[in-house]
Amino acid sequence: MRVTPPDPRCLDTGTQAALRAEFPLLRTGVYLSSNSTGAVPRGAEQVLRDYWETLRSWRDDVWQDWHVGLDRYADSLAALIGAPRGSVLTDANLSTFLARLASCFDYRPPRNRVLITDLEYPTVPFIFRAYRRYGAALDVVGTGGPRLDQDALEAKLDERTLLVCVPHASFSSGATVDLPRLVARAHQVGALVVVDAFQTVGVMPLDVTALGVDVVLGGAHKWLCGVGTAFLYVRPDLVPQLAPAATGWQAGDRALTFRPSSGWAPGVRRFAGGTPYPLTSLLSQVGLDLLAGVGVDAIRRHSLALTQRLLDRAEAAGIAVVSPADETRGGVVCLDVPDGEIVKQRLAARGVICSWRGYLRVGPHAYNTLDEVDTFMDALHEELHR
């Protein structure tokens, strides 16, 4: 049996053993792909059973319970990101929310510029390119490399900037953005800051209130150990100024009277669309509760220890690392190896799971151990030298 030297930043063995016992996926191999899809805890099985019971014995007033479940999940997310209760809403995916947010603006010059980076998940440029037809002046800032040139981004901020949209951590390199600095600079010129935090919420702390950030989007199926749901936070005092054109009846002030609304629902619900889908929030609550129980600061420390081990082993093996080596990295370490897609498949055949998006992406979470990281690096070494 391998005995990997401990790292004081790791979760204590009792906490971690209890956490690992909740995730059956971990018994199928070495699972280091939480940046792609997080493991789902076994408690989700009971949620599925209960859901079927609900459908089997259907009555319309089930909706009352479902709304309680939807609100509970949204408020748990709010607590995790330092947002007030009632300031977070869930829907099917991040793209839906971002497009709805983009529909709030009239893109009239002079303030019609949308600044994004070349590190965005592809949905971000795709959506804002579509808004060019309404006058959005899209400007993509980047180096073409795996890091953000934050100076270059901030140099573009001026009174013409309507929105600046950044990933908290890049999905392809794990490089993070210095949000306090960006928010301060953007607010000086009256621009709104939109953060895609899909790659950080659940593995890195984020306090939206302390940051004063305007909009944060994320989703459940990676670091939050959930399935099929995304979330939106909008700074509460900004909400009344935003009116989405892409909308639906649930966003109205009279939604539950089933008559046409004349105004917006109070609060973040004005960003709703049609009938919500409760199952994914109910399922995702289980993982969120487990992670919140461990605490996101402890998870971040553990993550830094495991990603440091990846970095050290990669350096020792002469494997090029794309992610930042310092603590500006997120939860993933990206390795530049030849024939990465094939290597990933060969590793998977050995029960060692990571993902590939131009680089080999290795994303250990709170439920992973240093031993698993070493097993991964041993297997990778063998595959690269076979």
Ligand X SMILES: Cc1ncc(COP(=O)(O)O)c(C=O)c1O
Q: How far is CA 98 from CA 123, 131, 162, 165, 325, in A?
A: 9, 11, 15, 10, 31
Interacting residue with ligand X among 230, 296, 333, 380 (CB under 6 A): 230
Interacting residue with ligand X among 33, 76, 95, 161 (CB under 6 A): 95
Residue 169: burial class (beta carbons within 10 Å; 0-12, 13-18, 19+): buried
Nearer to ligand X, 22 or 196 (CB): 196
Separation between Cα atoms, residue 322 and residue 52, nearest integer Å: 45
Nearer to ligand X, 211 or 230 (CB): 230
The reply on whether position 328 binds ligand X by CB under 6 A is: no
Residue partners of 39: CB distance under 8 A and separation at least 6: 23, 25, 26, 31, 225, 365, 367
Least Å from the CB of residue 201 to ligand X: 10
The reply on whether position 91 binds ligand X by CB under 6 A is: no
Range in contact with ligand X (rule: CB under 6 A) among 21-29, 43-51, 88-96, 357-365: 88-96
Q: How far is CA 233 from CA 64, 169, 197, 213, 334, in A?
A: 23, 17, 11, 9, 29
Least Å from the CB of residue 102 to ligand X: 13
CA neighbor of 186 nearest in space, from 105, 96, 137, 114: 114
Nearer to ligand X, 80 or 166 (CB): 166
The reply on whether position 37 binds ligand X by CB under 6 A is: no
Range in contact with ligand X (rule: CB under 6 A) among 21-29, 196-204, 257-265, 278-286: 196-204
Three-state DSSP at 153 gives: helix
CA neighbor of 292 nearest in space, from 72, 91, 92: 72
Look up residue 238 and give its two tokens. Answer: 């900004």
Range in contact with ligand X (rule: CB under 6 A) among 40-48, 73-81, 93-101, 373-381: 93-101
Q: Which string of x and - marks every residue 233-272 that binds ligand X (by CB under 6 A)?
A: ----------------------------------------
The sign of the dihedral angle between the CA atoms of 29, 32, 35, 40 is: positive
The reply on whether position 355 binds ligand X by CB under 6 A is: no
List beta partners, residue 217: 196, 232
Residue partners of 175: CB distance under 8 A and separation at least 6: 119, 146, 147, 148, 169, 323, 324, 328, 329, 330
Range in contact with ligand X (rule: CB under 6 A) among 110-118, 192-200, 265-273, 322-330: 192-200
Nearer to ligand X, 196 or 383 (CB): 196
The reply on whether position 123 binds ligand X by CB under 6 A is: yes
Interacting residue with ligand X among 171, 231, 233, 264 (CB under 6 A): 171
The reply on whether position 117 binds ligand X by CB under 6 A is: no
Residue partners of 123: CB distance under 8 A and separation at least 6: 94, 95, 98
Q: Are 229 and 250 in contact (CB under 8 A)?
A: no
The reply on whether position 219 binds ligand X by CB under 6 A is: yes
Interacting residue with ligand X among 30, 40, 89, 94 (CB under 6 A): 94
Which positions lie near ligand X, rule CB under 6 A?
93-95, 121, 123, 167, 171, 196, 198-199, 219, 230
